[in-house]
Amino acid sequence: MARVLVTERIAERGLRLLKEAGHEVDVEEGISPEGLLAAIPGAGALIVRSATQVTAEVLEAGRDLVVVGRAGVGIDNIDVEAATARGVMVVNAPESNILSAAEQTFALLLAQARNIPQAHAALVAGRWERTKWEGVELYGKTLGIVGLGRVGALVAQRALAFGMRLLAYDPYIAPDRARRMSVELRSLEELVAESDFLTIHLPRTPETLGLIGRELLKRAKPGLRIINTARGGIVDEEALAEAVADGRLGGAGLDVFAKEPTTESPLFHLPSVVVSPHLGASTTEAQDKAGITIAEQVLLALAGDFVPNAVNIAATEVSEIARPFLPLAEQLGRFFACLHEGLPDHLEIEYLGTLATTSTAILTLAALKGLFSTSTEEPVSYVNAPRLAEHRGLEVRETSAATSHDYVNLITLRSGEHAVAGTLTGAGVRLEPRFVMVDDHDVEVPPARDMLVVRNDDRPGMIGVVGTTLGAAGISISSMAVGRSPQGRTALMVLATEVPAPDEVLDALRQDPGIFDLHRVTL
């Protein structure tokens, strides 16, 4: 039996499950960081929500920890990498609030369409303003859905019942899957131009931060109404307020904000904007499900059984040969996703060398984890990555061979459009990752957070074109590799930059007739 430390409120039914299993449940709500460090020794499990910071220091102090449970979806407050290194499992409750979040989306959508909060406020203040708060019907209107993950799919189902036409932007979902949901896929620009209502269901990542910004809103259909129950910061709130204030947009409904908690925003003073203080998961049912689910996952982990909602995998469960390649496989997956700027038609993963002598299933999971890491509102894990691939219609094929001509070990990801390969160089504890092939061009460059992939005409001066454009924008190049195609007609540059290259720099590069293709990569 183990001691389970619970630092934030969870459903009483969840606590009861833990006690009935014979574990000692130690509830210390509101514990300070110093108090947590003092309380964690001797605990076999730690259950938190979003306020408790589970740092590397906490994990080191918790030498008896088997599992950390997050009673909810997001795991930003848990150092998963440190937990993995120490063999501590991290679990969450990813499906606990999806129904509540979808219903909150529709609550805001209806409240925004019919001006219910504004009319309520006027009436209780003694004003009968029936004409002023005339609304619009949902029937026959076009709903644009940004992100067709689990919450987006539930919103789509409910919108069909209201007789709405459904469009969506989600480059990580197969067209056949979208058609089965009665959804037509569009680019983001097309989506805002055609939609009467727009709902957002994406994670907050460097790629999605400010996604709905000033330039995109200029392309919006006049009167578009935007609903965001996903994460703050995806919508540029200042640009949104300007577009609503000058009448280009019909209004907005927001449950999340760039900074939380907040009580000041230019949006709060606009009569056609409806707001709520991040209530997407604030239902009795969602909180009950989160508490019960996390208790069940913790019980499985403590018993040594399979845990369906494990976010990580303990390093001790991976073979000695495959373990060093886990970060590389995940980086290759992210790189591959950036090359496609969406979901490929299929994915072939090839393992060459001594890797082929051991189980590579965990490396395939790591590659899928990287591939989907920026495309869903839930944390992507080794456990749920295959389900995401199935849900989004991605066919995955794996091959291996024990011989490799050029490298001791090589991992290659390939589709009909793109390919990327990587390996580890060095020996012992000094193994370092390298990307060694991109789109069948031989290159060798270490992975970096911000990269550019440029395919260009194989003629003198092209390196100078790229370097001059980046330099004029004040962007330093930290490393670079150039490779020719096997046919010799094109060349490929892979550059690591000190900061991300902004859209205007990419647009300037695309204007050069010698540049055929350009991709921004964020690892």
Pairwise CA distance, residues 192 & 161, whole Å: 22
- One DSSP character per residue, 487-520 reads TSSEEEEEEEESSPPPHHHHHHHHTSTTEEEEEE
Q: Is 275 exposed, middle or buried (0-12, 13-18, 19+ CB in 10 A)?
A: middle
Residues 244, 223: contact at Cβ < 8 Å?
A: no
Pairwise CA distance, residues 301 & 44, whole Å: 10
Count of C-beta atoms within a 10 Å radius of residue 266: 14
Element (H, E) at 169: strand 165-169
The residue among 91, 95, 96, 94 whose CA lies nearest residue 4 is 91
What values do phi and psi take at 242, rounded to 5? Answer: -65, -45
Pairwise CA distance, residues 51 & 44, whole Å: 20
The residue among 339, 333, 321, 338 whose CA lies nearest residue 440 is 339
Pairwise CA distance, residues 443 & 136, whole Å: 56
Q: Give just the sign of the alpha carbon dihedral 203, 209, 210, 216.
A: negative
What values do phi and psi take at 63, rounded to 5? Answer: -70, -20
Pairwise CA distance, residues 365 & 149, whole Å: 19
Torsion of CA 93, 55, 523, 405, to 10 degrees: -100
Of the residues 165, 278, 346, 449, only one is catalytic, namely 278
For the question of residue 231 being annotated catalytic, the response is yes
Pairwise CA distance, residues 370 & 333, whole Å: 4
Q: Is 263 exposed, middle or buried (0-12, 13-18, 19+ CB in 10 A)?
A: exposed
Cα–Cα distances (Å) from 18 to 25, 94, 211, 261, 431, in that order, read 7, 20, 42, 32, 43
For the question of residue 129 being annotated catalytic, the response is no
Q: Three-state DSSP class for 146? A: strand
Of the residues 60, 260, 285, 317, only one is catalytic, namely 260
What values do phi and psi take at 221, rounded to 5? Answer: -60, 130
Of the residues 231, 434, 519, 520, only one is catalytic, namely 231
Pairwise CA distance, residues 299 & 358, whole Å: 31
Pairwise CA distance, residues 401 & 350, whole Å: 8
Beta carbons within 8 Å of 319's beta carbon, 6+ residues apart: 358, 359
- The residues annotated with a catalytic role in the active site are 231, 260, 278
